[in-house]
Amino acid sequence: MDQRRQQQQRRRPVNVAEIMAQIRRRIEQKKRDLKIGTEFDDLAAMKLKPLPDPQQVKSLKTPDLYGEPGGPRTGSFSMKNPEPRVQLVDPFTRPLLEFEKPNVSVEALFYSSRGGAGRFLMIIRKFTRPLLKLFLNLDAYVYEQAHVNQVLRNQTITVYERLHQQILDLRDRDDQMLRRIDYQSEWIEWMQTLRDQTAHYVKLLHGIQTNLVAELTTLAIENQNLRSRLAEMTDQLDLHGKREAIMEEQVQRIEETRTPLAQADETAALAGNDIPDAHPDRS
């Protein structure tokens, strides 16, 4: 009975609501700690991508486009040495081509050489002209031929005009392309500058990140060591608590042997308020 009273005196009052509140506070604290841990895990799990080697980046300023400086040019475009342009002729002011010249006269049919025989023949043809005109319409033949020549001329002029217009368009496009190439070359130069800067920053960040990972690993190990020490100290505390209880029992026994009558009175006084225990071996 007296031993049970001592056990009850040693009991620490527990309150489940308070314990649960304490558990929830710990979980909240742990979550706050874990937030940093989660970031660390993310960093650790992040797959580091190989950094691009600036030497391996193929520049757009390749010899295919501009040729080696001082070497033979392989491309068809050049801003610095453009091809000399052919001066086109205005089709409306140009001289007439050979086939565009006016047709021969109908009278030429009767011409002959300037010699005596020629003159004789011209006299005979002059006398027989009405007869020839009676049987052959030579004018119609000549005018028909002249009309055909005119049509061919018109068609040739049309084709020539189209070709002229196309050449003008191509020259405009050529100018536009040259302007675009100028702009893109400037843009490429600017991007190369940016790339060099980015590569520099990436190298810098990579170094910082590596140092951070190393630092966090060290901190995690230290944290683990501290926890182990805490657990060890908690165990020691429990052990000391048990030792304290045993020593208290021993002191009480010594007191019992000294004043048995007084102890008996006290036991009798407290006996009424005790709760019977069906399993004293486990309590």
Partner 1 sequence: MKIALVVQRYGMEINGGAEYHARLIAEHLAGHVDVEVLTTCALDYITWKNHYQHSFDFVNKIPVRRFKVLRPRDPVAFGRWQERLLRYPHIAEDEVKWLRLEGPWSPSLVRYIEKNRDNYDYFIFFSYRYYHTFHGMHVASHKALLVPTAEKDDITVFSIWPPLFARPRAIIFNSIEEREMIVGLSESAGAIPGDVVGVGSNIPERTNPAEFRKKYDIQGPFAVYVGRIDQNKGCAELFDFFQRYVADVKSGLKLVLIGSSVLPIPNHPSILHLGFLNDDDKFNAIAGAEVLLMPSQYESLSMVTLEAWALGKVVLANGRCEVLRGQCLRSNGGLFYENYDEFAEALRMLEQRDWLRRELGFNGRKFFRRNYSWDVIEKKYLSLIETLEQQQPKPPAPPIRPLWKRWGFSK
| Binding residues vs partner 1 (CB under 8 A) | 11-17, 19-20, 23-24, 26-27, 30-31, 231, 234, 238, 241, 275, 278-279, 282-283
Q: How far is the CB of 215 from partner 1 (least distance, A)?
A: 25
Q: How far is the CB of 44 from partner 1 (least distance, A)?
A: 18
**Closer residue to partner 1 in complex, CB, 23/132:** 23
Q: How far is the CB of 11 from partner 1 (least distance, A)?
A: 6
Asked if residue 73 lies in contact with residue 67, where contact means CB atoms within 8 angstroms, the answer is: yes
**Closer residue to partner 1 in complex, CB, 162/242:** 242
Q: How far is the CB of 21 from partner 1 (least distance, A)?
A: 11
**Closer residue to partner 1 in complex, CB, 29/150:** 29
**Closer residue to partner 1 in complex, CB, 14/261:** 14
**Closer residue to partner 1 in complex, CB, 139/238:** 238
Q: How far is the CB of 244 from partner 1 (least distance, A)?
A: 12
